[in-house]
Amino acid sequence: MRILLVSDIHANLVALETVLAHAAPFDRIWCLGDVVGYGPEPNACIDRLRSFDLLCIAGNHDWAALGKLDLEEFNPDARRAAIWTRDQLTPANLEWLRALPERVPAQADRFTLVHGSPRYPIWEYVLTPAVARANFDFFDTPICLMGHTHVPVVYRFQDDDQTATADPLPEGLPLKLNPDRMMINPGSIGQPRDGDPRTAYALLELDALTLTHYRVDYAIAATQAKMEQFGLPPRLIARLSYGW
Ligand code: ZN
């Protein structure tokens, strides 16, 4: 079984289509939230994802589009984009977003899927080994898959001194998913923030128990042109060029 692991698509259909083509063939998609928000094609991204065998959880931007979060928590550009997104979404897609769970176990309880962290699934950013270490106490499975920071990383629990270490995800190199306990972020499809503007995703081979991380060039200018056309905030358009 081959799983396409994606996160933080953020309504960037051009990046999503690039990844779907690059990753094929695969059996199923696991999506770690923030399907919408920031980008220009929220409905098309949801429709495209739903055309596959899909397991998807909710992110903070999905909740913002539903009005389930106070938009005062967002910066002004994110708030503007969230309101625009809410106005675009079809009733059927709003319904679909509303039904997304915050956290799921997957594949015989081997994986926990969350958007932010196992401790606070919608909001917490796991950006340091110390925060990762605290979160290893909040899930029981060997592996936790998460998004939200838009930065690809693997945190490993160290049995000897009970700490956590952080490493960048190697590109194109299968990472063995045992025996260590790990928290893994595959990076963002639609708005990378690690200084590399290429779209990011991972493929999980469940039989071999490996995860391979990929970065792929996509037509950034095509997404930016659509954002301009819809009057989305210039800062959100510009950041796609820099991967930040
Ligand atoms: Zn996000």
For residue range 19-72, what is the model confidence (pLDDT) as tens digits? 999 999 999 999 999 999 999 999 999 999 999 999 999 999 999 999 888 888
Can you give the pTM of this predicted structure? 0.97
Q: Report d(CA 13, CA 42) in Å as an integer.
A: 8
**Model confidence at 217, in pLDDT bands (50, 70, 90)?**
very high
Distance 191 CA to ligand 1 centre (A): 8
pLDDT score of 205 more than 80: yes
Q: Check: CB of residue 168 under 8 Å from CB of residue 152.
A: yes
Kindly state the tokens that stand for 15. 């990046």
Q: Report d(CA 201, CA 187) in Å as an integer.
A: 6
How confident is the model at residue 163, as a pLDDT? 97
Q: Give 116-136 pLDDT, tens digit per residue.
A: 999 999 999 999 999 999 999
Distance 114 CA to ligand 1 centre (A): 12
Distance 24 CA to ligand 1 centre (A): 24
How confident is the model at residue 90, as a pLDDT? 98
pLDDT score of 239 more than 80: yes
Distance 170 CA to ligand 1 centre (A): 21
Distance 38 CA to ligand 1 centre (A): 9
Distance 40 CA to ligand 1 centre (A): 14
How confident is the model at residue 61, as a pLDDT? 96
The end-to-end CA distance of the chain, in Å, is 33
Distance 138 CA to ligand 1 centre (A): 21
Q: State the Cα angle at 213 between 32 and 53, rounded to 5°.
A: 45
Q: Report d(CA 32, CA 174) in Å as an integer.
A: 20
Distance 153 CA to ligand 1 centre (A): 15
Q: Report d(CA 187, CA 192) in Å as an integer.
A: 7
Distance 133 CA to ligand 1 centre (A): 22
CATH classification (class only), 2-239: alpha beta
Q: Give 68-113 pLDDT, tens digit per residue.
A: 888 888 899 999 999 999 999 999 999 999 999 999 988 768 999 9
How confident is the model at residue 70, as a pLDDT? 84
Distance from CA of residue 74 to its chain's centroid?
18
Bridge-based pairing state of the strands 143-145 and 175-176? unpaired
Instruction: Assign 3-state DSSP to the chain and report helix, strand, coil percentages, each to 5.
Output: 35, 25, 45
Distance 159 CA to ligand 1 centre (A): 31
DSSP-based three-state secondary structure for 35: coil
What is the average pLDDT value for the chain, to the nearest integer?
Answer: 96
Distance 161 CA to ligand 1 centre (A): 32
